[in-house]
Amino acid sequence: MKDGFIKVAVCTPDLKVADCFYNAEQMIQKAEKMEKEGVRLLAFPELAITGYTCNDIFLQDTLLEGALNALQKYKEATAHLNLVSVIGIPLEYKGRLYNTAMVLNKGRILGAVPKSHIPNYSEFYEARQFSSGKDMSAELTLPTGDTIIVSPRLLFAQEHMPEFCFGIEICEDLWMPDPPSGGIAQKGALIIVNPSASDELTGKAAYRRELVKNQSARTISAYLYADAGEGESTTDMVFAGHNMIVENGVVLKESLPFEGRDLITEIDLRRLKNERRRMTTFSMDDGEKENPQFTTILFDTGERAETPLTRKFPKTPFVPSDKKHRDERCNEILNIQTAGLVKRLRHTGCKQAVIGLSGGLDSTLALLVTVRAFQKLEWDIKGIIGITMPCFGTTGRTYDNAVRLSEELGITLRKIPIRDAVLQHFRDIGQAADVQDVTYENGQARERTQILMDVANQCGGMVIGTGDMSELALGWATYNGDHMSMYGVNCSVPKTLVRYLVQYYADTVKNETLKKVLRDVLDTPVSPELLPPKDGEIAQKTEDIVGPYELHDFYLYYMLRCGFTPSKIFRLAVYTFEGVYDPRTIYQWLDTFCHRFFRQQFKRSCLPDGPKVGTVSLSPRGDLRMPSDASDALWKEELDRIYHSLA
């Protein structure tokens, strides 16, 4: 359970209606198998021990006694297993019958949660047999010898890992306007278990999936949905075992209807806890009067060892994995960037925009966004002034691409060589032109920015910033050089996403020549081109200096968006990039990321305005309010422990 990961499972057993001992045996086999897989929380469907479709047989003493005897069998057979089980079973109390979910752990029945909302419509006539447990709070001793609390206001928490805390709602409870899981989550449960028996109808699976996803997202929880399957009676309905495990609105595992698959995966409780901490509107105190005090019951699932990971983590967390969603996301981001720039141009009254064109990815994306903005405003595209400023490191390839982009898009292009101006500046400050140090590089970057600003003043225009979020995170920008602009359209777009945005534009544009230029830009190594080329080729490759951007964007996402520790980020990176980067390489660039991230905050503290496009932004006015002189000592200590573990 290291780093907050626990392995959970949802199982639909092969049952026989009203054959309680057969059903218990099937569940015992499932439990033994799941425990060997490392599962610590196991959920079965609604009324699984009897079958949901017993109808009036539920009113028979023989079935009710058989259910409790079968429960005793399960309890004894699983007493040695390091897991906690949720089992659906009917329970009689004071002459009324309740549809409950009982929680078992190491030979103990910990408690029972009754169903609050009993359906009495269409094909469902549960109210004929069962009563609502919405207001129930009782303590009773079962024939099994266990004294338990029966209440919808129960939480179950692991003794040694408080965040491993779950609550239960049953089937129909989820479909209500105000599901119990809302209150359960506000009382601290990070996991919601739903033992369910939802019949299959045309189109119902899609609606059910969205219902589970939305409730998981609203409660910032992991949602385990265990659905009844094909073993149920088909007299009037068919059940399809539509199981789901969802984490904060994202489906981690799903068994499509009639597949009949058990689901196993890991859920990240620390991430859920961190997400709630960020979401200050998610109050743990709201609704105290409406939601009476909950009772927390402790359980133990054995050792506190590291949970082996099997779930997938995307190498590029800022970029959707499938092309359809990626294209939708790219179009949406371009629209956001465009809308932000349109508003700024209208507000300032600037009818011209000035962009420094390098022939690289970032300036290409900024240019494409600016063209879209002018098109939306129905302004003359010639009002966009692209300036190429060749100097010591400029190559023919990047220069040619900048020129061809300008021609195909129809903007105004100006070529302003800066070599002589930079050399004069070096003479003025006493900098040797053959000393290729940080002054040599930054002198060029600041000269470029000075020209852009001055040209904008000449034409009454606005300088459009080209730098992206990955560069800002690393501080890979010259202070008061390319770090500065009048509006930064790429400021919250990470480098890995910049590439896909340009690729999307290339895939959708009809101009074949422009398409060809964009693809060559995509194939060009990322470089500031501040050092002289070698044999006409780019000599200064950014990723050789600061590390691969796919790693840095991975670190950026999990550090800023999720609040993970360096050791957890390192663990996920080693797992995700296995076969791509070895652990030492991953450590090297993680150490670089943390070092640069803390020491370069002063550049982010005075960023120009720019639109937020995703869940992470580095703007000091929004997502990241961080002191420029914050210490990274705690992060370094953890990185040192990682380093020594690799020795």
Q: Please spell the DSSP secondary structure of 513-577, one letter per residue.
A: HHHHHHHHHHHSPP----S--BTTB----HHHHH--HHHHHHHHIIIIIT---HHHHHHHHHHHT
Torsion sign across C-alpha atoms 628, 634, 635, 639: positive
Question: What integer pLDDT is reported at residue 539 of this predicted model?
Answer: 64
- Beta-carbon contacts of 419 under 8 Å, excluding residues fewer than 6 positions away, are 390, 391, 392
Best CA proximity match to 400, nearest among 520, 576, 289, 242: 520
Asked if residue 284 has pLDDT above 90, the reply is no
Backbone phi, psi, residue 214, to 5°: -65, -40
DSSP SS3 for 587: helix
CB 102 within 8 A of CB 112: yes
Q: Minimal CA–CA distance to 15: which of 59, 68, 54?
A: 54
pTM: 0.91
Distances from the Cα of 73 to the Cαs of 14, 21, 52, 64, 306, in angstroms? 17, 8, 20, 14, 31
What is the Cα–Cα distance from 87 to 46, expressed in whole angstroms? 7
Secondary structure class of 227 (helix, strand, coil): strand
Give the integer Cα–Cα distance in Å for 223 and 219.
9
d(CA 531, CA 306): 47
Which pLDDT tens digit goes with each residue over 2-45?
899 999 999 999 999 999 999 999 999 999 999 999 999 999 99
Tokens of 132: 């609502």
Dihedral sign for Cα 565, 566, 567, 572, please.
positive
Q: Which amino acid, one-letter code, is at 250?
A: V
Would you state the pLDDT for residue 564? 96
Tens digit of each residue's pLDDT (9 = 90 or more) over 172-210: 999 999 999 999 999 999 999 999 999 888 899 999 999
CB atoms within 10 A of CB 375: 12
What pLDDT score was predicted for residue 123? 59
For 134-156, what is the mean pLDDT?
94
Dihedral angle over CA of 250, 254, 256, 258, nearest 10:
-150
CA–CA separation, 125 and 122 (whole Å): 8
Dist. CA 128–CA 130, nearest whole Å: 6
Closest CA relative to residue 368, chosen from 462, 501, 484, 467: 501
Among the listed ranges 118-132, 349-363, 475-489, 620-634, which one has the minimum average pLDDT value? 118-132
Tokens standing for residue 20: 């309680």
Is residue 498 predicted with pLDDT exceeding 90?
yes
Nearest partner of 196 among 153, 157, 229, 231, judged by Cα:
229
Angle formed by the axes of helices 633-646 and 583-599, to 10°? 170
Which pLDDT score is estimated for 14? Answer: 92
Among 77, 67, 89, smallest CA distance to 30 is for 77
Work out the number of other CB atoms within 10 angstroms of the CB of residue 139.
10
Closest CA to 79 of 61, 57, 58, 104: 104
Query: What is the structure's pLDDT at 302?
Result: 79
Number of Cβ within a 10 Å radius of residue 521: 25
DSSP string, 466-522: ---HHHHHHT-S-TTTTT--SEETTTT--HHHHHHHHHHHHHH---HHHHHHHHHHH
467-485: pLDDT as tens digits: 999 999 999 999 999 999 9
What local confidence, expressed as pLDDT, does residue 304 receive? 67
**Cβ neighbour number for residue 417 with a 10 Å cutoff:** 12
Residue 287's pLDDT band, with cuts at 50, 70 and 90, is very low
Length of the chain: 647
> pLDDT at residue 371 above 80?
yes
Please answer whether residues 444 and 385 qualify as being in contact, where contact means their C-beta atoms are separated by less than 8 angstroms. Answer: no
The 10 Å Cβ neighbour count of residue 320 is: 17
Is 50 exceeded by the pLDDT of residue 584? yes
Contacts of 254 (CB under 8 A, 6+ apart): 209, 242, 243, 244, 245, 263
d(CA 609, CA 488): 6
Side-chain-side CA neighbours of residue 586 (13 Å): 23
Residue-level pLDDT at 305: 72
d(CA 468, CA 153): 48
Q: Is the pLDDT of residue 148 over 50?
A: yes
Query: Residues of 282-305 as b/e, b for ≥16 C-beta within 10 angstroms?
Result: eeeeeeeeeeeebeebebebeeee
**533: confidence class by pLDDT, cuts 50, 70, 90:** confident
Catalytic residues: 46, 115, 171
Position 647 scores a pLDDT of: 79
Q: How far is CA 448 from the centre of its chain?
A: 38
